[in-house]
Amino acid sequence: MYAKIEGFVAAIVNDLIRNYKNIAGIKSSNADLANFQEYLGLRHNLSILIGCDKLAYAALLLGAQGVISGPGTVFPEIYALLIKTARSKGHRLSVKCQSLSNQIINLLRGGNDLSLYKKALEVRGFDIELVRTSLCDLNTPEMVSSSNAIRQFLENKYVRVIRTLSQSKMV
């Protein structure tokens, strides 16, 4: 079981893990690396995961065991490569992965609109019929614009970069 705990200091989390044996990890979505580093001292007891995509590579360098990513549900390849290259100390490739991840975050408008995630999955060829209707659907111009932007990103950048990074000797 993963417990999402934001804003707690490491001492409080330490007390929690002593009292509750079913806490296996912490996901920190806080965009503050100093706060995140407090949790790293608990690595011997917990899995420490980052949930702030823009800090994924930095957190992995500091010792995070993984990334829990919203955009990674649509574009998992880049996050898998980021973790793999960070673990193999492939700095140059990790930086490229992080840069592509940042572009994905921007493409999905920071993750605040789930209808964009659905549109991106649809553009990638996934059947999304069973997914619950978004709280706010895209209107027709937004749908066309988003579809075109996602297709352009996939065709002009994402597939090429993933292929190049996957074939690199550092991966």
Confidence at residue 134, expressed as pLDDT on a 0 to 100 scale: 57
Write the pLDDT tens digit of every residue in 29-43.
Answer: 888 888 888 888 888
Dist. CA 89–CA 108, nearest whole Å:
28
pLDDT score at 102: 96
Amino acid at 160: R
pLDDT at position 68: 95
- 16-31 b/e (C-beta count within 10 Å ≥ 16 → b): bbeeeeebebbbbebe
What residue segments make up the domains of the chain, in order of their start?
1-68, 70-171
- Residue range 104-143, pLDDT digits in tens: 999 998 888 888 898 899 999 988 765 566 567 778 888 8
**0.85 exceeded by pTM:** no
Whether 98 and 82 have beta carbons less than 8 Å apart is answered as: yes
